[in-house]
Amino acid sequence: MFKSLIVLLVVLCCVAGGAAQPAPDMTQDARMAWWREARFGLFIHWGLYAIPAGEWKGATGHGEWIMHTAQIPVEEYERFRERFNPVRFDADAWAGLAAEAGMKYIVITSKHHDGFCLFDSKFTDYDVMSTPFKRDIMKELAAAARRRGLRICWYHSIMDWHHPDYLPRRDWERRSAAGADFDRYRAHLKDQVRELLTSYGPIGVMWFDGEWEDTWTHEHGLDLFRLCREIAPNTIVNNRVDKGRAGMAGLTLAGGFAGDFGTPEQEVPPTGLPGVDWETCMTMNNHWGYNARDLDYKSADELIRTLVDVVSKGGNFLLNVGPTAAGEFPPESVERLRAIGAWMRLNGPSIYGTHAGPCAGLPWGRCTQRPLDGGDTRLFLHVFDWPADGRLAVPGIANTPLHCSLLTELDQPAARLIGARRDGDALVLTLRDVEPLPPVTVIALDVRGRPWVIPAPIISAADDVFVDDLAVTARIDGHALKPPDGGDAASVTLRYTTDGSDPVRDSPAVSGPVRLQHTTTLSVRAFRDDAPFSPVARRTFTRVTPRPGIGDASAAAWEPGLAYEYYEGDWQRLPDFDALSPVRRGHADAVSLAPRGRPERFGLRFRGLLRAPKDGVYRLHLRSDDGSRLYVGDELVVDNDGLHVAEERTGVIALAAGLHPITVSYFQRTGEVDLGLAWTPPGEPKAPVPPAALLRSRE
């Protein structure tokens, strides 16, 4: 399995002799500068899993996890190594396509969870040099990337289903865990990280993954992060090195977790992650690794708009390709990379080195920004939906416009200027004589000073539904009223309407809570000198009749607690428990993990009654890792389904005093476990649902 200690000593002597020495350390901003400028990178998932191309024993939905999802024994999976011979691999062609697409860095799987290494490792024979190909793919791609001006970066899995010392074993594996030593595996992992950071020149990013299993701890993450800093002080390390990732959302939780940037997966945070470096990674189709049957590709237009969406919120976009076993990018991927590149050649300045736009929630598109010499600002308006009337409103912006034209004409002597005039709180651009450039037309709007965008007022209430009456407040962020370039804060008056119409200067002023007794759409706007000074905020509040209870329970028929059913299986979402047979049934005092029978791959369903002490609006909070759902009667109140780390979601329902049937369903796949139910009764603080509020049948 492992190569000789003599070879290791030779390698260490070479390193000591000056093969790769750490560069002087940088500040965090300096370390991140190239990455923040790049904004767009290529992700490559490639390995032995490309050979079956997603298919095993008639099932065609597998991807890079095929060893696990198809439950292929180690010795059988190893045979793919004898077939790995990607004779059409051309590192220059791959790097060329990335550069043509406008990408600035490449992140490739040096090792995925299956443990196979695409590089020449001195610490295992389970690598590319033991295949018929016998070429160090990482070495070739690193050189090709640098020839194209791209940064080379490594994805390296912490999890390793092949290594004899990695724990835990898959529950379907035949290999015994006897004698396995996870600390010995950690030493192996660190040895390979040293190789990757010392043998291939400067590395842009160490992109770790597979950190979620219980054997990997926060202390292990800090240790590996420090090792990367020690060896390569200027290499960026993602947050999956540690245990602080908040599920697929990718945000690093508070608490001293390591990592230079967050890693949302297959999603774009709705409002970005202000003040945080983050990168959305996403597939073109439904798989990271090559699946020959998966032709469900996102269109080039959709991918361009996703790139714009990510950058407009302050993030980077890492777009994935899964090459074939022959070593080629699928033609569908090539077509999309080239289409993105054609758009980027015209509009790259609106992406590279830009910051999150100051205008959120634009109905027609997105906005990025860049500071100009002299203190002014260029706003890049990315128009997804061209206005039919030729008028494009940029709401809430208080700056004076200086220049406006299509980005493609910005530096041309004959650039067509686009008129920009103020209309209330908005700058309105006149586009009647301008032709759109689908899929995203970019307009460069220069404004005086730093952006001053007045947000819509904030409308606050206990909930969007109420039973009797409701107090609603409205305010505007005082910091937003102060000009960013200095001066006194603007003095404004908030005015409102209750019929859904836009407030005008004669509308009532907000002087305290607005009390509602009927279903109402409340609209609020800021005014300065009797002129609109902010966008309109709207929120609808609905008066509801509480869901009736089923009466009270007699002591003879009911007792405290819930009935539960315990299931075992491997799911990625909640299954239909009605179609399955439970392993056992029983009673539980609360919604908890107490009835589980094994640490992973199980499900629970709790059923009984919830006692509501009084009429009103109840907030129900369901926390789980992985997925869960809460029903009251047949009404879905909380949907927390899917694979994720511990995450709490809240639902709102109006209940009459009395008893209400509830069902809580839960499944756990792998990693950490968590499950709990809390509530916020009307007029009371949030707390765990007390045992006295839960009832089950005595039958």
Q: What is the pLDDT of residue 610?
A: 96
Q: Which residue from 578, 583, 643 is spatially nearest to 607, judged by alpha carbons?
A: 578
Give domain limits for the chain.
35-286+295-346, 357-447, 458-543, 558-697
Q: Is the pLDDT of residue 438 over 90?
A: yes
pLDDT class of 13 with cuts at 50, 70, 90? very low
Specify the amino acid at residue 664: V
Alpha-carbon distance 245 to 249, whole Å? 8
Q: In this structure, are residues 279 and 268 in contact, taking their beta carbons and an 8 Å threshold?
A: no
Mean pLDDT of 466-495: 93
Higher pLDDT, 557 or 683: 683
Q: In this structure, are residues 638 and 650 in contact, taking their beta carbons and an 8 Å threshold?
A: yes
Q: Alpha-carbon dihedral of residues 53, 58, 60, 65, nearest 10 degrees?
A: -70
* Per-residue pLDDT tens digits for 321-342: 999 999 999 999 999 999 999 9
Give the number of C-alpha atoms closer than 13 A to the C-alpha of residue 236, restricted to the C-beta side: 26
Sequence-distant (≥ 6) Cβ neighbours of residue 13 within 8 angstroms: none
Q: Which residue from 98, 82, 120, 119 is spatially nearest to 41, judged by alpha carbons?
A: 98
Same fold, 35-286+295-346 and 357-447: no
Q: Alpha-carbon dihedral of residues 140, 142, 146, 148, nearest 10 degrees?
A: 60
Give the number of C-alpha atoms closer than 13 A to the C-alpha of residue 39, restricted to the C-beta side: 24
Instruction: List the structure tokens of 690.
Output: 């007390």
Considering the chain, what is the average pLDDT of its residues? Answer: 92
Alpha-carbon distance 389 to 391, whole Å? 6
Q: What is the pLDDT of residue 558?
A: 81
CATH T-level assignment (fold) for domain 458-543 = Immunoglobulin-like (2.60.40)
Alpha-carbon distance 116 to 127, whole Å? 6
pLDDT class of 553 with cuts at 50, 70, 90? low
Angle at 209 between CA 39 and CA 625, to 5 degrees: 110
pLDDT class of 7 with cuts at 50, 70, 90? very low
* Per-residue pLDDT tens digits for 650-699: 999 999 999 999 999 999 987 778 999 999 999 999 999 999 999 998 76
Q: Using the 8-state DSSP alphabet, how is residue 547 labeled? A: B
Specify the amino acid at residue 645: V
Alpha-carbon distance 643 to 620, whole Å? 21
CA distances from 178 to 164, 165, 166, 174, 217 (A): 10, 10, 11, 12, 21
Q: In this structure, are residues 628 and 664 in contact, taking their beta carbons and an 8 Å threshold?
A: yes
Length of the chain, please?
A: 699
Q: In this structure, are residues 623 and 647 in contact, taking their beta carbons and an 8 Å threshold?
A: yes
pLDDT class of 21 with cuts at 50, 70, 90? very low
CATH T-level assignment (fold) for domain 357-447 = Immunoglobulin-like (2.60.40)
Alpha-carbon distance 442 to 411, whole Å? 14
Instruction: List the structure tokens of 377.
Output: 């600002």
> Which residues are 619's β-sheet partners?
652, 680
Q: In this structure, are residues 528 and 507 in contact, taking their beta carbons and an 8 Å threshold?
A: no
Q: What is the pLDDT of residue 552?
A: 65
Helix (H, G, I), strand (E, B) or coil at 692: helix
Q: What is the enclosing helix (H) or strand (E) of 521?
A: strand 520-528
Give the number of C-alpha atoms closer than 13 A to the C-alpha of residue 242, restricted to the C-beta side: 27
* Per-residue pLDDT tens digits for 161-175: 999 999 999 888 989
Q: What is the pLDDT of residue 554?
A: 58
Q: In this structure, are residues 150 and 99 in contact, taking their beta carbons and an 8 Å threshold?
A: yes
Alpha-carbon distance 237 to 218, whole Å? 15
Mean pLDDT of 44-70: 96
Q: In this structure, are residues 107 and 154 in contact, taking their beta carbons and an 8 Å threshold?
A: yes
Alpha-carbon distance 503 to 534, whole Å? 11
Cross-sheet strand order for the sheet of 514-516: 458-460, 470-475, 514-516
* Per-residue pLDDT tens digits for 359-400: 988 999 999 999 999 999 999 999 999 999 999 999 999 999
Mean pLDDT of 261-270: 93
* Residue whose entry in the numeric block shows the structure tokens 């708009």: 305
Helix (H, G, I), strand (E, B) or coil at 244: coil
Q: What is the pLDDT of residue 254?
A: 74
In this prediction the pTM is 0.86
CA distances from 358 to 233, 361, 396, 454 (A): 33, 10, 10, 10
Mean pLDDT of 489-499: 96
Q: What share of the chain is helix, strand, coil (3-state, %, to 5)?
A: 20, 30, 50
Specify the amino acid at residue 256: G
**Radius of gyration of the CA atoms of the chain, in A:** 29
Instruction: List the structure tokens of 9.
Output: 């000593």
Q: What is the pLDDT of residue 303?
A: 98
How far out from the chain centre does Cα 530 lie? Answer: 43
* Per-residue pLDDT tens digits for 390-435: 999 999 999 999 999 999 999 888 778 899 999 989 999 999 889 9
Alpha-carbon distance 129 to 122, whole Å? 10
545 class by beta-carbon count within 10 Å (0-12 exposed, 13-18 middle, 19+ buried):
exposed
* Per-residue pLDDT tens digits for 237-253: 999 999 988 777 777 77
CATH code, 35-286+295-346: 3.20.20.80
Q: What is the pLDDT of residue 25?
A: 58
Mean pLDDT of 306-334: 98
Helix (H, G, I), strand (E, B) or coil at 449: coil
Give the number of C-alpha atoms closer than 13 A to the C-alpha of residue 403, restricted to the C-beta side: 14
Q: At what angle do helices 331-347 and 91-100 cross, to 10 degrees?
A: 40
Alpha-carbon distance 665 to 575, whole Å? 9
> Which residues are 453's β-sheet partners?
397
Alpha-carbon distance 262 to 244, whole Å? 10
Q: Is the pLDDT of residue 556 over 70?
A: no
Q: Is the pLDDT of residue 18 over 50?
A: no
Q: Which residue from 470, 109, 136 is spatially nearest to 320, judged by alpha carbons?
A: 109
CA distances from 265 to 36, 245, 249, 250, 281 (A): 18, 11, 7, 7, 5
CATH 1.10.1040.10 holds for 558-697: no
